[in-house]
Amino acid sequence: MNEPIKQAPVGIDLGTTFSVIAYLNENGRPESVPNSEGDLLTHSVILFDDQDVIVGKEAAKAMASELELVAECPKRQIGQRVFDKQIAGRRYPPEALQGWILRKLKLDAVRTVGEFDQAVITVPAYFDEVRRKATQDSGFIAGIKVQDIINEPTSAAIAYGYLSGWLDQKGLAVEKTRFLVYDLGGGTFDVTIMEADGRDFKTIATDGDYQLGGRDWDQRLIDHVADAFCDANGFDPRENSEALGKLIRDCKDAKETLSTRSRASITCAFGNSTQRVEITREQFLRMTQDLLDRTDFTVRQTMKQANLKWTDIDRVLLVGGSTRMPAVVDMLHGLSGKAPDNSLSPDEAVAHGAAIRSAMLLDHYSDTIPIQSIRNVNSHSLGVVANEIETGLPQVVQLIPRNTPIPVNSRRIFRTHKADQESILVQIVEGESKNPADCSQIGRCTIWDLPEDLPIGTPIEVKFGYMENGRLTIKVKVGGEDRRAFRYELKRPNGLTQEQLESWRQYISSAET
């Protein structure tokens, strides 16, 4: 067997719009690694260009001209069986698309970091078990051993704590600190309230508005400029894909300009007409106020769920590129009564925390950084489907309600319904509804090889649990007999089989030169 390589600690923020890979440098400081184009952020976009698969900036550029060849933001669809857009006649599972992104991050990083095969990958706190598993599978496809899957806000909190001195050199919280992480990215928004105490990082509550992000702010500018163009010229630049592509890029740039300057201008050219539109920060604020208000509402809701007052919160942390908008900082300052902490780069903090987490889990680093326990809650309730006695209709029986601190186990007794039964089938779901169809289907678990001659009604105890990382575990006991390991198989309706994973892994790595 090969000696395991003494690799540097590596963490990956596999983001919806941008992904970042970071490592812990020789001085124990997290550092983002530039990709082969020299950028710290890699667009989470994939272009299928004949035989070549291109990830990143060039793929994002191609969205303006060859949209049909581009898979954009696969993270939005992770957990589904296939990505809903067909590309050159082919449908890809989201895991494979995410695998390509991870693969690029890895290959580019090796040049700076040296060889590595292990990394920590982050996921949103609201990801259900299916999406966590699919993210882990993406890592496998990319040839990465996933040391841990941690929540993005937890990761950001670790980075803030470690770098701003409220965790000591050993990674322990100097004093109990409660914080609120406000993460506004390109396409999603979430809020998490956490507590750090010694080695414990505990999530208290998490919520979000998963269809809200920087692109909604872009859209307001796009419509503003296009409407002005229409008024002046009588036709709409949004109807032409090339003109629209350019408008999208220019409006995003203008939005980012307005974070540092008080005015910006956008020029829209289409047909033989050109329209220049000036916009001030105040105007922009007015046209997007309702979007900001939505985040304000979610923050208040989360505080309510956590049963906390603002005086109970020690710090407000800003994560996600869109928190660079001054209006976000002002709103949070007004709401919380304290200046939000933006001492770290908001688009890198998540990856940096993951690199620190990676160090905690690497044996050859354990002297430098001790392991911290990260206590999360499950963001969705776990249940099994059972037929209701009176109606015979399938119904969800809840086993572990949402927001329960994990790890956690719950057991349920099933009974054989005929003599000599050889197997039983358990359907496992996540969600808040009684109706199985409204829940996320984790899968069907078949328990095989039950002992022979079991009388009808024999109790079969199935223990379901969540591990620290939110992944599911299953244990089975039959007739009170617990030391036997019963074989079971969990079939995931949307997951890839081990053979499919292997074959995607082969496929993606064979394309490299």
- Which residues are part of the catalytic machinery? 13, 75, 152, 183
Applying CB under 6 A, the site for ligand ADP has a residue count of: 22
Give the helix ranges, DSSP H, for 234-280.
241-257
* Residue 15 engages Mg ion in binding (rule: CB under 5 A): yes
Residues 464, 147: Cα–Cα separation, whole Å = 22
Q: Which stretch binds ligand ADP (CB under 6 A): 62-70, 182-190, 239-247, 371-379?
A: 182-190
Please report how many Cα atoms fall inside a 13 Å half-sphere around the Cα of residue 437, on the Cβ side: 2
Binding of Mg ion at residue 346 (CB under 5 A)? Answer: no
Q: Which of 239, 252, 241, 247 is nearest to 65 (CA)?
A: 241
- From 278, 265, 277, 257, select the one nearest 326 (Cα to Cα): 257
Residue placing its CB nearer to ligand ADP in the complex, 163 or 408? 163
Residue among 108, 190, 207, 256 that touches ligand ADP (CB under 6 A) = 256
383 binds ligand ADP (CB under 6 A): no
Residue type, 397: V
Provide the token pair at 372.
């911290």
Footprint of ligand ADP on 335-354 (CB under 6 A)? 347
Task: Considering the complex, state which of residue 43 and residue 133 has its C-beta at the smaller distance from ligand ADP.
Answer: 43
State which residue, 321 or 431, has the beta carbon closest to ligand ADP. 321
- Segments of 111-199 assigned E as strands: 118-123, 145-151, 173-184, 189-198
Question: Based on CB atoms, which residue is closest to Mg ion, 15 or 79?
Answer: 15
Which of the stretches 76-84, 174-182, 213-221, 493-501 binds ligand ADP when contact is defined by CB under 6 A?
213-221
Which positions ≥6 away from 153 have C-beta within 8 Å? 125, 181, 183, 190, 192, 194, 203, 206, 319
In the bound complex, what is the minimum distance in angstroms from residue 186's beta carbon to Mg ion? 8
- CA gap 145, 154 in Å, rounded: 21
Q: How far is the CB of 148 from Mg ion (least distance, A)?
A: 18
- As a whole number of angstroms, the distance between CA 25 and CA 33 comes to 10
Q: What gap in Å lies between CA 85 and CA 387, rounded to an integer?
A: 36
17 binds, among Mg ion, ligand ADP, none (CB under 5 to 8 A by kind): ligand ADP
Strands 118-123 and 145-151, by their bridges, are: parallel
Q: How many Å apart are CA 192 and CA 169, to the nearest integer?
A: 25
CB 404 within 8 Å of CB 378: yes
Query: Binds 124, which of Mg ion, ligand ADP, none (CB < 5 to 8 A, cut-off by type)?
Result: none
Q: Does 132 bind ligand ADP (CB under 6 A)?
A: no
Our measurement of the distance from residue 483's CA atom to the centroid of its chain's CA atoms, rounded to an integer in Å, reads 37
Sketch the per residue contact string, 177 through 216, with Mg ion: x for CB under 5 A, - otherwise: --------x-------------------------------
Considering the complex, what minimum distance in angstroms separates the CB of residue 182 from ligand ADP?
12
Residue in 56, 94, 320, 495 binding ligand ADP, rule: CB under 6 A: 320
Location of structure tokens 């414990």: 200
| Residue 139 binding partner per list ligand ADP, Mg ion, none, with a CB distance cut-off of 5 to 8 Å that depends on partner kind | none
Binds ligand ADP (CB under 6 A): choice among 79, 171, 187, 353: 187
* 3-class secondary structure, 363: helix
Residue 440 φ/ψ, nearest 5 degrees: -85, 130
Helix (H/G/I), strand (E/B), else coil: 459: strand
First to last CA, the chain: 26
Q: How far is the CB of 85 from ligand ADP (least distance, A)?
A: 19
CA–CA separation, 42 vs 101, rounded Å? 9
Query: Residue 189 interacts with ligand ADP (CB under 6 A)?
Result: no
CB of 282 to ligand ADP, least distance (A): 16
Q: What residues numbered 26-45 form the site for ligand ADP, per CB under 6 A?
A: 41
* Closer of 185 and 383 to ligand ADP (Cβ): 185
Judged by CB, which is closer to Mg ion: 15, or 99? 15
Candidate ranges 79-87, 157-165, 194-202, 315-323; the one touching ligand ADP (CB under 6 A)? 315-323
Chain positions contacting Mg ion, by CB under 5 A: 15, 185
Chain positions contacting ligand ADP, by CB under 6 A: 15-18, 41, 185-188, 213-215, 252, 255-256, 259, 320-322, 324-325, 347
